[in-house]
Amino acid sequence: MDEPDWVPEGVDTSIPSVARTYDYLLGGAHNLAVDRRMADEMLRVLPGARHLVRLNRSFLRRAVTHLVRRGVRQFLDIGSGIPTAGNVHEVARAHAPDCRVVYVDKDPVAVAHSRMLLAGDERTDVVLADLRDPEDVLGRPEVKGLLDLDQPVALLLLLVVHFLTDEEDPVGLLGRYRDRLAPGSFLVVSHATDDRRAETMRRAADTVRRARSRDNLVYRDRAEVTALFTGYELEEPGVVGCALWRPDGAGSMADTPEDNTQVYVGVGRKPAPGERGT
Amino acid sequence: MTAPLPRDAAGLRERVKLARKWAYLLSKRTYLPMSQAELERQLLGLVERLCAGVVTGPLAHQVGREVGVALVEMNCTLAETLRLSVEVISRGLLDMTSLRGIPQRRDRVVEVVAALASGFAEKLRLATLEQQEQLGRALHRAMRQVQLDLQASEARTEVVETFTSSGVATTDLAGQVLRANDALARIVDLPPAAVTGLSLPDLVHPDQRDAVRADFARLAAGSGEVISQPRRLLRADGETAWVTLTLTPLRLHDGRGQVVVLAEDSSDVSLLQGQLNHQSLHDLLTWLPNRQYFTSRLEQALRTADPATGISVFHLDLDGFSLITGGLGRRVGDQVLKTVALRLREVVAEEVAMVARFGYDEFAILVENSASTPDVVTLVRRINDRLSEPFDAGGHRVATSATIGVVHRPPSDASPSDLLDSADLTLRRAKGGGRRQWELADPTQDGRDRRRFSLAVTMPGAWEGGELRVRYRPLARLADSALVAAEAVLRWDHPKLGALPHEQCLALAEDTGLVGSLLAWLLRTACEQSLAWRRDRGRELPVRVGVTASQAADQELVGAVLGVLADTGLPPRLLRLGLPAAAVLDEDEAAADNARILAESGVVVEVDDFSAAPGELVRVAELPVASVRITLSRGPVPGGPPGGRVVADLLAVVRDAGVAVAVDGLSSVEQASWWREAGADTGSGPLFASASPPEVIAARLG
């Protein structure tokens, strides 16, 4: 294949991709040397990084399981990365085979990858789009074709909102999604924080920045992560450290308390108008 | 496949215990996409098979491999998980009481575990290869998509280049044309193939050629700006084409630079083409251009007219036209208007001129004057002479006359709408005098020229007479509004014109060559003032003096500054010298050298009118600059979102280089806090105080 003279950052293989770095930290091989270099540097600064991605993935599994039990059958996973082991549709269908899932990512390689892995699956689809443009995401034919936005949808935003700067107004942005979703819809968020180990986390963020990835980490505290659920009623136990959200076994936790709370998570439900909060 | 195990409860308990321990250890190390209960169930199955392998010797190897493969399939891929598994399985199997009686038990356990490791490694290798291949295919597809998008984008560009009436070319940094569209060839009247390879500046009128070369030199030097200027291009037929020439620098991935050139033909109505068709530009009765078309042409003429002769605008109103329509009917009226249109065009037929119909009985004429153009009085007379010749309309002999407002040689920076307003006002004044009157608008440009000239001439006397003063503007820290320095500025309290500000004083001084001594005086006054504040108020307050671009590059600057410091005894660190970014960044290193020498001497060097263009960022980091100043009314730096994020990022670059950031022209608290958030350190402008006598600053020193 001829390489084009110019490629966008997502396709430029000299720049690490967040999705592929994440895959490497989870033990996958869908990654390149440049991604592994960034991951290894991250591990040097933050040895618990593997635990963080593991716990986040475990939370995803528990949250999706919880939502299927709450009756949700439609999922919109934005910032889905490379859909390897334990993806939303696999977890959801283990409990309800009729679940439909649309994966959204702005990394063109991750999207091409997802399309290959999910080829032939009528109940999943993949969209190349940016979280920052709700109208675009929700207006895509793939989204409108597979998901009925008049029915409850679970919007999954795992380890992605912390790539939004304050100027991009995450609360306002999520509000634009919320306003388009039907009552009874859910929001699932996981978000890195520097409430603990501020210095370590700063160095971790520097690592990402130095790697010339376009994405910069913006840590937020518990109140700021809670504010993302404006207009939703938080499911028990509210916004908590990743390991503390309905843990179901040893895999839900790490041995170091910092690793258990380095990522805040929460699940919220959009009430019907006039519906009384619980 | 495996032999049945002894169905003893104690043995099962042992195997469950091993599976749980294994599950616990694995789930602490890696993500396994299942609940803990499911994981324990699956691992128990593996433990059962391993035990069977130990019991049934011939199966040991096969069972071990299968378990190793199963682990990888469960997403146990980290080396750590293999080490753990080997450890926990070896110990567990050896410790199991239910296996105690098996012959060669230890050898079988070793064999099973070794096969597990080998199965694990083999499966991991295959999985890795498969995933890498998948990734390769994904990259290929993504890249292919990019290529297709690129091809689509190129196709779009080509459509635009082919069908636009504007000239589009790509040149190298020296201005040599690498490719050009047919429209550019049409504009310069050359065969399309002949344009490529030419030097773009050579296509420009000789008068402007050096300016265009200088534009290219600026872009070649790394200026990221977009340069857009009205220019004249030479046509092969000897005519001149008026265009708006826009030069946009393009940085290629390999670091080479190119320039995209856009030549918008402004010789005709192409400014408005695309939005408007002929009908919307013309009056349907007389087929004269309408006000819109006229305004567009006027705008262009203002920019491109020969300054030696300028333009003239005539605004005409037919006298008593309502009597014609009222008495003779609308049809006759229409015929009269057509005749008037024709006659007006005849009057200016030998001029570069446009006749337009504005309203029912209002017309306008734009004349681009040349050396042979008759003077205004002659033209006005010719217009009314021609209009007053009786003609036949619908069986009636009719004659007309017009009252005329004239704007003669307006300044080239006048806005078309102001100019038309002025013409209209003049017309109304003329109508006050009755029929067939005309009046001339105040020739502003001449007056302005005269005033500036006389001002410059009288400046030295005014300085001697004490009309020139030094005033101080507070420079404040944005975090707490604390006063951090005072900027000394000139003010001329002109007895007739009022206060002339700093910039105008400097411009006038440069006109007369007074600038050197005026600057020295300003520096000396400021330094003495700083010492006075220290003496009277017990506080050191730095003073700041901004110099013009030509002063910044002047060989005398260093001597003048150091001389004043030596004479007054002010510590150099209390003097801040602001040099314009354009001068400091100039290829000619004169101003940069001055900056270096002054900084070495301890003077605080600052860069004014900073725009955060990439070239400036690099240069500022290289030079011993203490701070940069952004002036809000100038420069392309936006004053707030949405460009805000970019600004904050660029300011971060500046601050990382150890350079402080100042903002001038702040007028509101919101603005100040926005810039503080964006990373600015200090600010000045109307928000803090305008230029005031030294006592006002002293009062703030407490």
Helices (H) and strands (E) in chain A, counts: 11, 8
Question: What pLDDT, on a 0 to 100 scale, did the predictor assign at position B640?
Answer: 44
Residue in A closest to B130 by C-alpha: A29
Q: How far away is chain A from the Cα of B128, in angstroms, using its nearest Cα?
A: 5
Round to whole Å and give the CA distance between B212 and B567: 45
Residue B271's pLDDT is what? 46
Could you give the ipTM of this predicted complex? 0.84
Residue of A nearest to B40 (CA): A249
The candidate with the shortest Cα–Cα distance to B271, out of B367, B352, B160, B166, is B166
Which CATH number belongs to the domain containing residue A257 in this structure?
3.40.50.150
pLDDT band at A12 (very low <50, low <70, confident <90, very high): confident
pLDDT tens digits along A127-157: 999 999 999 999 999 999 999 999 999 999 9
Residues of chain A neighbouring B137 (CB-CB closer than 8 A): 112, 116
- Contact residues for B155 (Cβ-Cβ < 8 A; gap 6+): none
Q: What class is the B278-442 domain? A: alpha beta
Pairing assessment for the beta strands B604-608 and B627-631 based on DSSP bridges: parallel
Put simply, whether B668 touches A (Cβ < 8 Å) is: no
Question: What pLDDT shows up at residue B42?
Answer: 87
Q: How confident is the model at residue A276 (pLDDT cuts 50, 70, 90)?
A: low
Dump pLDDT digits (tens) for A75-115. Answer: 999 999 988 778 999 999 988 999 999 999 998 889 999 99
- Chain B residues touching residue A13 (CB < 8 angstroms): 139
Q: How many domains does chain A have?
A: 1
Interface A–B counts its CB contacts (< 8 A) at 121
* C-alpha closest to that of B225 among B616, B650, B638: B616
CA distance A11 to chain B (A): 6
CATH topology of domain B9-132: Globin-like (1.10.490)
User: Is A80 within a domain?
Assistant: yes
**CB contact (8 A) between residue A250 and residue B30:** no
Instruction: Report if residue A4 sits inside a domain.
Output: no
Of A120, A249, A238, A146, which Cα lies nearest the Cα of A189? A238
At A214 the pLDDT is: 66
Place of tokens 């110099």: B547
Report the gap between the CA of A179 and the closest CA in chain B (Å). Answer: 23
Whether omega for the bond prior to residue B6 falls within 30 degrees of 0, making it cis, is no
Q: In sequence order, what are the residues at sequence separation of 6 or more whose Cβ sits closer than 8 angstroms to the Cβ of residue A85?
A: A26, A28, B31, B33, B75
User: Looking at the domain assignment, is residue A227 inside a domain?
Assistant: yes
In a domain? residue A3:
no
* Residues recorded for chain A: 278
The pLDDT score that the predictor gives to residue B415 is 84
The confidence score (pLDDT) of residue B8 equals 61
Tell whether domain B463-478+485-700 is in CATH 3.20.20.450: yes
Q: Is residue A278 part of a domain?
A: no
Q: Are A116 and B134 inside 8 Å of each other by CB?
A: yes
pLDDT in tens, A228-267: 999 999 998 999 999 999 998 888 888 888 888 899 999 9
Q: How high is the pLDDT of residue B531? A: 94
The pLDDT value recorded for residue B275 is 42
3-state secondary structure of B663: strand
| Beta-carbon separation of A112 and B32 below 8 A | no
Evaluate if residue A6 carries a pLDDT over 50. no
- Provide φ and ψ at A198, rounded to 5°: -55, -45
Of residues A7 and B620, more confidently modeled:
B620
| Segments forming the whole domain that contains residue A61 | 9-267
Cβ atoms of A80 and A88 closer than 8 Å: yes
Percent above pLDDT 90 for chain A: 63
> Which residues contact residue B384 at a Cβ distance below 8 angstroms, ignoring those fewer than 6 apart?
B401, B402, B404, B436
For chain B, residues with pLDDT lower than 70 are 1-9, 253, 266-280, 432-434, 442-457, 511-513, 614-615, 633-647, 702
CA distances (Å), B378 to each of B115, B347, B381, B402, B443, in order? 112, 11, 5, 15, 18
CATH code of B164-267, in short, is 3.30.450.20
- The domain locations on chain B are 9-132, 164-267, 278-442, 463-478+485-700
Tell me: pLDDT of A196 over 70: yes
Question: From the list B37, B139, B253, which residue is nearest A6 (CB)?
Answer: B253
